[in-house]
Structure 1
């Protein structure tokens, strides 16, 4: 095949063009996801009790006739991407020979159903995609690259993200709901990781927010005393129950003593030096605990970039999250080598890394 001016074959250039266009149109992936969440389509199918036809769906949504074909287009695209299955169903009469196509839920769309006891991560989608204040910041990456110190949100919002959220209750509510929804996935992971909490009497969930993760742990292990530790203004109106309590403070100053310290997606928000400070305070808190010294540990739930071992889609997610952490918080997702470097700087040498969820790993450190 003939070469073009760059020495590439035409076939190579066509594939390269497709790659560029795929990323260019990629913003529509996010908008289509936003569409099915805002229109509560997973809930509609769930409430329907069976796969739903296009005519039934547009009837529930009250879609104008001019947009029926477009609705079908959107649904088929999201089915292509794994959010729905397209199945064949028969008419309401069991003896009917009439066949129709219908849209059924998949594992992905089931995670977007609101109002059930099952995990739902729709609030995470809403935080990222419904709030133009935050999403529009991504258009200012050029400005961020030429700023030496400030995270992207500080440039676009005029103040650090945490300060902005504290001053804007609506945005803070979206953020808290999103973090709580992500924590619900912990319930699934704990089914195979009960041994992580065996032998512990006390645990502190550092940066635990409104306490979703701690509540899940406290319900699963009723004899384990769980303390949610976060900034005073985060926990001031939150009430504990039974074996769950809330304590305000600053993790950079000190952490309440306990047999175990939990850090769920906390360290990826911070620079290496700050991670070392947090871990040293965790170590001090465990060493100060008078019980179970031999079983004391730091439990980290965070991502570990491993391009050799991970599936390509998981690696893609972790690399995208790494970019997000760099620009938003001046943090980062870390490789095994980078985790080891941080642990050693904090004086922590005995640890193990295990799979936990699709993108999170379980890291247990024994001070």
Structure 2
């Protein structure tokens, strides 16, 4: 790193000296300036990436200490000093200097705002980022929900450690990183680890609430066409998603389908029937099948098996309704990816690290559907762009 910085310093010094001697032409000065600017930008980006863990883990401790909630409870636009925030912490003598320095560091990334007035300490407030981390959404947080449990899950030590084994997975092909570390996938580890399991369920629950709201908003007409018909949620977990559909469309005959051990702990919902089984063996017959974020957990062969079972369970005029991510195509000629590509890439790496699945582009979804007997499809993007989710309607080949 020191040698690279030295190179940049030499470039800048040579340009400066050349200008002083009058040797540089306008074109050469412009070219050198662009080169220096690009090198500096690359160095700065590299620096940020190297120490990006400071932001994610800094966010973790901020949520653990409930800093966003402390600020929010004083009002949506309130600002507090480090000393005032410390007064709410569960400690008789917190280190205010450490607290202030860390909050100021997070503020450099826009996680908190900081305001400095003459003769007064720095005041910290919420920003569009930290509002998503307020748990009590009635006090200045994101009304759509909170991502605090999601953050805590993905910065948990058990979830971060597999990233150290990514290189081994690439070189040896001997397994997925999470399995190399824990001997099982995240789902299984969450079942055997009560603390991680509670966090996992909270994270999935908060994410699902935001997603279901989008699904109902974007696919209302699709569900209305199913009135007085049957709809089964394959891999529906505790039934919260299908129950939300049932509440909005009470004339649909709704069924929640999952493994026996999952169904045994599922809640009872009005208008929802629970059925235990295994989607890799068979799927209950229904006029329509709903699956939310199921197939991205699995590889192509497992997905084909699930999809073929869905095809067998549907009538000729039936349809499959999947909620999945459809990765955007890379933009040609772009030196940096769009935010859509970046989020899509993050989602795919999560699946690589934690599960055996993957996120897919439209072309990949088409191949899976066609190989499983579905020859027609529609893709409907969901309203919340940052979630990068879509509804994929698929119809049997003979429908």
Q: Please report the TM-score for the alignment, with normalisation by the length of structure 2.
A: 0.77
Q: Offset of 1:192 from its aligned partner?
A: 4.1
SS of aligned partner of 1:366: strand
Q: Offset of 1:101 from its aligned partner?
A: 6.6
Q: Offset of 1:363 from its aligned partner?
A: 1.2
Figure out how many residues of one structure are paired with residues of the other and give that number.
351
* 1:349 maps to 2:371: no
SS of aligned partner of 2:87: helix
Return the match for 2:176 from 148, 151, 159. 151
Return the match for 1:203 from 211, 231, 247. 231
Structure showing greater radius of gyration is: 2
**Cα deviation digits, residues 122-164 of structure 1 (max 9, x gap):** 221122213x223222112222223324221211112344443
Cα gap change, 1:246 to 1:44, in 2 (>3 Å): farther
- Structure 1 residues 127-276: aligned runs within 5 Å: 127-130=153-156, 132-189=157-214, 190-200=216-226, 201-276=229-304
Aligned mates of 2:283, 2:108 — CA distance in 1: 47
SS of aligned partner of 1:275: helix
Contact 1:186 1:213 in 2 (8 A): no
Aligned to 1:280: 308
Aligned to 1:53: 80
Contact 1:176 1:209 in 2 (8 A): no
Contact 2:351 2:357 in 1 (8 A): yes
Which range is displaced more, 212-221 or 121-130? 212-221
Aligned mates of 1:360, 1:160 — CA distance in 2: 23
Contact 2:379 2:392 in 1 (8 A): yes
Return the match for 1:298 from 320, 329, 335. 320
Aligned to 1:360: 389
Q: Offset of 1:185 from its aligned partner?
A: 0.6
Aligned mates of 1:228, 1:187 — CA distance in 2: 15
**Cα deviation digits, residues 181-235 of structure 1 (max 9, x gap):** 1101124312343223112133222222223322322232233333222221122
Cα gap change, 1:174 to 1:53, in 2 (>3 Å): closer
Cα gap change, 1:26 to 1:279, in 2 (>3 Å): same
Task: Name structure 2 gaps, 5 residues minimum.
Answer: 1-7, 13-31, 332-336
Contact 1:239 1:245 in 2 (8 A): no
Q: RMSD value over aligned CA atoms?
A: 3.2
- Structure 1 residues 318-329: aligned runs within 5 Å: 318-329=344-355
Contact 1:45 1:104 in 2 (8 A): yes
Return the match for 1:111 from 108, 119, 132. 132
Cα gap change, 1:361 to 1:349, in 2 (>3 Å): same
Contact 1:180 1:210 in 2 (8 A): no
**Cα deviation digits, residues 31-86 of structure 1 (max 9, x gap):** 12212211112222222224132143232226788843443443344445444445
Cα gap change, 1:43 to 1:211, in 2 (>3 Å): farther
* 1:36 maps to 2:65: no
SS of aligned partner of 1:159: coil
Aligned to 1:92: none
Aligned mates of 1:187, 1:314 — CA distance in 2: 21
Cα gap change, 1:225 to 1:112, in 2 (>3 Å): farther
Aligned mates of 2:105, 2:79 — CA distance in 1: 16
Q: Please report the TM-score for the alignment, with normalisation by the length of structure 1.
A: 0.83
Aligned mates of 1:84, 1:225 — CA distance in 2: 47
Cα gap change, 1:26 to 1:277, in 2 (>3 Å): same
